[in-house]
Chains A and B, each alone.
Chain A
Amino acid sequence: MIKLLKHLKWYDYILSIIILGVTVFQVWLNMSLIERMGEIIGLIQAHSIGMPLGSGDLWNVGYKMILIALGICGCVILVTFLASTVSARFSKIIRSRIFEKVNSFSMEEMNKFSTASLITRSTNDVKQVEMTLFTTLRMAVTAPVMAAFAIGKIVGSSIELTWTTIGALGLMLMLVLFLFFVAVPKFTSIQKKTDKINNVTRENLTGIRVVRAYNAESEQEQKFEGVNEDLTKTNLFVNRMMSLLFPGMDLVMNGLSVAIYWIGAYLINIEALQYPTIVTFIQYAMHVLISFMLIALLFVLIPRGVVSAKRINEVLDTKSKICDGKGVNPEQKGCIEFKNVSFKYPDAEMCVLENISFKVNQGETIAFIGSTGSGKSTLINLIPRFFDVSEGQVLVDGEDVRDYKISELNDKLGYVPQKGYLFSGTVKSNMLFGKEDATDDEINQALKISQAEFVHTLEGDLEHEISQGGTNVSGGQRQRLSIARAVIKNPEIYIFDDSFSALDYKTDKELRKALNKYTKDATKIIVAQRVGTIIDADKIVVLDEGKMVGYGTHNELMETCDVYKEIANSQLGQKEGE
């Protein structure tokens, strides 16, 4: 938590100190308000045994009290104002630091945290920390100061009553601690059980066709009933425990005030105390109890904030392993060479890729094929430096990719991911992602090459709304649009990571034809599952368990490579890949 606070600006520290000062002043005002009331009762008491008293005397005290009340109100508003700016600015700064950091991450760091966890860390955790800071700024200062002032007041007035108050405080803390240890751990288990409810429901929804096809509705309902009952029981237990809190506190507080009167009466009898002192003492004692309650509450709140702060720090302290190189001025264009490349994931024992070497020149097409887990996608991930090689070298245009400035390297590449992810916005805004200043003509041309002319049949044409991830167009349409996004960039090198999988054979073929026609000079790197997609590639690399088991054209491989032959035969059926 403290480490995170370092991200605050210098003036936020000053503001925090001001908050502290104002709070102390405000508590002091609070206490003196009680004192004034005692003063009035004292005046009346004195009057009852004959001292003269006029309304003017009372008003003198009254004016002071109004000023004090005004002061208190002003202080609290000021503190609230300062605390909300500091905490809101804090969360703003932290959020943008995290966002910036995550953007600099490579795949390795992304995988380490997982996307979902990074999202929670950037949003919920930051909110949690903000709330903690806000409450801390307001309560963590107020509560102890108030406790200290109030204790100071009561200790001075009567030892006996002070002990009574301490007794009540003890009782109250016991109650709070009891609930803290019995009920609070159950909160975590409620969260887990709610997750389970979520899980079963999600399961039921995603499998709704299967459930109905197998007439298994009642089976699912029973399962739900089980987790539901489980959650209900825990909920009930916690709620019943928590029902103790307020009645218990009422009992302690009211009990304390009765006890103070009772004992106070004795003390008056032995002339150790005056009536007004009892009245003010009760007020102070209540303040002591309340401030300790607030402190106890802080002990519940702060740990949550600390957990979130830790999770945030984990992100901020992680350094991306992949950073800019010194920058290069390559003379070649569109060449890619792998030199004895091996790759293994951090902490893994086995290599995912072993000793891969090949070279492609400008305008050529190279394809990678192999079974799932053979390392195809990993291999092409080394080119845009999602990962760096463990051994060997990846050269783009004759220069090691690690020597490039990352943005310069990316400028050369047109990457099309396996899952055609689109951004929320319009078709056009997605296309401009590839080239910021593209004209409508350029966009239309790219859509034509990518066989994505279906766009023109959509409502709004280029302005057709795309939902986040592109979920409102079909899988095949998504892939074609994400290809168009790369085409419009007009890169030296295309990387297609299984980007044709959702297309039917016909579209697949047309698309490749158009690409060959319009992007002749660009080098194409294709990962595919289907032999049909790569049949006309200049070079085909066959991968099996991370090793190159075949390298050549389709016809060569049909002669020389068993793995390739097996794949081809299974897909092309009787025609045997003619």
Chain B
Amino acid sequence: MPPIRPHGKAKNFKGSMKQLFGTMKPFIIPIIFALVISIVGTILALVLPNITKQIGEEIFTSYKLGIKIDMAKIMSIAIYIICLLVVSSMFSYFQGFVMSGVSARVTKKLRTKISEKINKLPLKYFDNQSYGDILSRVTNDVDTIGQTFNQSLSRIVTCLTMVIGSIVMMFANSWQLTLLTLSATPISVILVAVVVKLSQKHFAKQQKSLGKLNGIVEENYSAHNIIRTFNHEIKAQDEFEYTNKDLFSSSFKSQFLSGIMYPIINFISNLVYVFVCVFGGILSIENPLFAVTIVAFIEYMRIFNQQIGDVAQISGNIQSAAAASERVFEFLNQQEQPTESDNKQKIEQVKGLVEFKNVSFGYDENKTIIHNFSATVLPGQKVAIVGPTGAGKTTMVNLLMRFYEVQEGDILVDGISIKDMKREDVRSLFGMVLQDTWIFDGTIRENIAFGSPNKTNEEVENACCFAHIDHFIRSLPNGYDMVLDETANISQGQRQLLTIARAMVNNSPMLILDEATSSVDTRTEIQIQKAMDKLMEGRTSFVIAHRLSTIQNADQILVMRDGNIVEQGTHESLLAMNGFYAELYNSQFAE
């Protein structure tokens, strides 16, 4: 007795189903094949009770006439039935076999599409999208679609065949009893609809209080220290009990209501069963052989009634598949970054001259944060970007790397606008070391050679020597082949050194560095500084600085505040201006 699952409602049922069917197109032949054999198999299975009836008739007639039963005849009927049975089961298995193949391929394709889509969307999309949400589309939603495919698609067809077939067979046996049976159907259908509607309301409530409870639990456990030191345990427990009580009542109600659907259907069908027995009996008074027909009829009636419960379940499944595919396609239909087949400009020998010409930009199109910014960075120069937390220092990185596009003005590298180059060509100009040191599951070697898988082991190891991390790597179990994952015990500082080595291997003509070292101890910090200095030698570099002490030798300093560039110049000239930079600089020493 599977419970009715709660499911989200699809806002655009037709639209998402249409797209889902579009995905199935390449598999149309196997799908049709599966559906046809499942119809044939079902029809074969439907004939069975009627043939079994012949055995009953044989037995009954001989009883009436007082003669022995003709066993040869019984045997031939039995063997016939068994053959039909085997064929019908085989067909039904084939159908399952083919449909599992199709559903596995369709779900795989959807997952691949989502994964590829991630790489094609503009970064802007991810700014206001939680990762958990996208992840759940890749797994949960795609799984839901797969399961529906696997189970419900052919069940719709068999269900329909069964309903039509069993009605036909019931009429063939007795039209009177059939009318009797069918008259009860609307009652069952209405009752089922009412119960489903009621229970769904409580399922929705249950989901809601469950979500709320999960939130409370998560919050309390992750902030356990704070709860304890602020003596908040009792209050937290009260709040928890309140929601817990809600959950109790809604989960009890939904459990109960979904549980009584089957007994109610059962009762109605039992009632019909009784009437069929009695009326059949009355009909048999005239014709005793009719007793055998009752047995076959009851069998068809059972098949017919079963479908009513199934229809409720299938329609639930399809609803949730529609909701899931809506979420999947909503993601897949997001606007991608424009393609750039026309951008043919390429720089062969990079000198490293970067010009900002009247650049304006805002994350929100109506809210410009960088106003008309211009600067020229000569080859090999070091540009430092400074400013308080949250001043928007990464904005410059986003623009240079074309993670975001400038709204007005232009950025030129060696005189060529980065807009006229392919995004990948722009990005290959810069090596990048970011504050969040991104390490993926894989060996240290793979992590360092990321983006340039053709590099030799020697090149990787050389880069690590430069980054002062070679010794550390060799001291690890398996050295360069050690697999890094969540459990790998390497510190934040070591991670940072690894990403520096990564940029080193990449050997791009220009650099973008984020030198955040707030969670690193002093000794490592000095190592990181040295490694970065080495990396910057002879390269045009942009450094997001957190320590003012390290950028005094920068060729240019851009001072940012509230998203905008408020001052630019060298350390000395900025100090002489006695503006925001000077204020920042002095505040770290002043008493």
Contact = CB atoms under 8 A, between A and B. Distances in A.
Given A72-B267, A243-B100, A567 B522 contact: yes
B562 to A, nearest CB: 11
Contacts of A406: 228
Interface stretch (A39-47, A160-168, A300-308, A354-362): A39-47
Given A197-B139, A205-B131, A240-B97, A219 B259 contact: no
B479 interface: no
A217 interface: yes
Given A47-B284, A572-B549, A255 B85 contact: yes
Interface in A406-424: 406-407, 410-411, 413, 415, 417, 421, 423-424
Interface stretch (A101-109, A146-154, A342-350): A101-109
Contacts of A244: 93, 96
Contacts, number: 445
A118 B266 CA distance: 42
Given A216-B451, A571-B549, A88 B221 contact: no
B480 interface: no
Interface in A35-74: 36-37, 40-41, 43-45, 47-49, 53-55, 58-59, 61-62, 65-66, 69-70, 72-73
Contact of A119 (B60, B221, B403): B221
B31 interface: no
B552 to A, nearest CB: 7
B403 A261 contact: no
Contact of A40 (B81, B256, B277, B547): B277
Interface string A165-194: 000000000000000000000000000001
B584 interface: yes
B92 interface: yes
Interface stretch (A6-14, A17-25, A441-449, A497-505): A497-505
A409 B256 CA distance: 47
Given A80-B260, A265-B58, A415-B226, A258 B105 contact: no
Contacts of B389: 474-476, 502-504, 507
Contacts of B403: 209, 212
A28 interface: no
Nearest to B492: A372
Given A96-B241, A474-B389, A123 B291 contact: no
Contact of A258 (B81, B101, B244, B263): B81
Contacts of B68: 269
Interface in A364-386: 370-374, 384, 386
A450 B231 CA distance: 22
Interface string B267-278: 100110111011
Contacts of B45: 250, 254
Interface string B393-405: 0000000010100
A239 to B, nearest CB: 3
Contacts of B259: 80, 83-84, 138
A299 interface: no
Contacts of B111: 197, 224, 228
A214 B589 contact: no
A574 B551 CA distance: 12
Contacts of B90: 247
Interface stretch (A229-237, A323-331, A388-396): A229-237
A207 B134 contact: no
Contact of B588 (A115, A423, A476, A532): A532
A318 interface: no
Interface residues of A, number: 161
Given A214-B452, A265-B74, A424-B215, A247 B224 contact: no
Nearest to B289: A48
A221 B116 contact: yes
B240 interface: yes
Given A85-B252, A88-B251, A261-B78, A269 B69 contact: yes
A214 to B, nearest CB: 3
Nearest to A266: B71
A213 B401 contact: yes
Given A102-B221, A110-B224, A570 B237 contact: no
Interface string B284-299: 1100111100110010
Interface string B411-441: 0000000000001100110101010101011
A559 interface: no
Given A40-B281, A208-B126, A251 B589 contact: no
A47 B589 contact: no
B118 A201 contact: yes
A384 B63 contact: no
Contacts of A219: 450-451, 453
Contacts of A251: 85-86, 89
A115 B222 contact: yes
B159 interface: no
B452 A48 contact: no
B242 to A, nearest CB: 11
Interface in B160-206: none
B444 interface: no
Nearest to A250: B89
A532 B587 CA distance: 9
Contacts of A504: 388-389, 584
User: Which 7 residue pairs of A and B lie closest in terms of their CB atoms, listed nearest first?
Assistant: A214-B451, A573-B549, A243-B96, A371-B521, A48-B288, A239-B100, A76-B263
21 contacts: A48-B288, A49-B63, A72-B263, A81-B260, A110-B224, A198-B139, A208-B118, A211-B119, A220-B115, A236-B104, A242-B96, A243-B96, A246-B96, A265-B58, A268-B59, A275-B60, A371-B522, A373-B521, A477-B390, A503-B389, A572-B588
